[in-house]
A = this chain, B = another copy of it.
Amino acid sequence: MSDDLRELPLRERKKLRTRRALAETALRLFTEHGYDATTLDDLCDAVEVSKRTFFRNYRSKEDVALAADSDLWSAYLDRVAVAKLDGPLLEALRVALNATLEDMDPDWERRFLATRELSESVPVLQSHSLGYCQDTTRAMVETLAGRSGTGVDEPCLRLTVEIFVASWRTACLRWTAQGGQGGRDGLTDLIERTFALLPDALTCTA
């Protein structure tokens, strides 16, 4: 995830630079002038690429805004695919998440916070972001089912993963609400506390 940039062929380097410039500039423009008020033409002008090139790098306007989300989920999926995951599943998934967070690029944290704030104020981004979560959920269920030999329809497995994602989002929401306080350690801490609340959440009264 960190700067593996210098040891790539020139062509790849340029491509990657464009990709990053697009995501970075998009985040800045969306934050400064608003998501709707920023057109893709604005973005492409700023990065000095054609709109066609934009769409070769990102599938949609929402996609580029949520690049930091995407980075996290794909890193997480990679980790889950190779991790040990012994003991209680929910706990193992949480540990893997913490490890993934620690491994993210130093700059990712800032991008992610900006992305979260944007996502919470723009409905279409929120929906799209939830779509990512759902895709990740599905992929995780498939990976885990394939490994343990049970089918993907095993309701308990799916439910566990859903609860995992729900907890993550709850923790993430609080982290964003407090302005990303404590950086990724703060986030890790919130995650831990949120997961600890789960048994209470099942039984708490109105």
- Please list the residues of chain A having a beta carbon within 8 angstroms of any beta carbon in chain B: 85-90, 92, 123, 126-128, 130-131, 133-134, 144, 147-148, 153, 155-160, 162-163, 165-167, 169-170, 173-174, 177, 193-194, 197-206
Contacts and interface: CB of A to CB of B under 8 A. Distances in A.
A89 B205 contact: yes
Most B-side CB within 10 Å, residue of A85, A159, A199: A159
Contacts of A163: 163, 166, 198, 201-202
A194 B131 contact: no
Contact of A206 (B89, B200, B201, B202): B89
Majority-rule SS of A interface residues: helix
Give how many copies assemble into the complex: 2
Contact of A134 (B85, B130, B153, B200): B130
A170 B148 contact: no
A109 B164 CA distance: 30
B198 A159 contact: yes
Question: Which 6 A-B pairs rank lowest in CB-CB distance, beginning with the nearest?
Answer: A127-B131, A130-B130, A162-B166, A159-B201, A85-B206, A160-B201
Given A127-B130, A130-B127, A130-B131, A204 B158 contact: no
A170 B174 contact: no
Given A156-B201, A167-B159, A206 B174 contact: no
Most B-side CB within 10 Å, residue of A166, A170, A177: A166
A165 B170 CA distance: 13
Most B-side CB within 10 Å, residue of A130, A147, A153, A169: A130
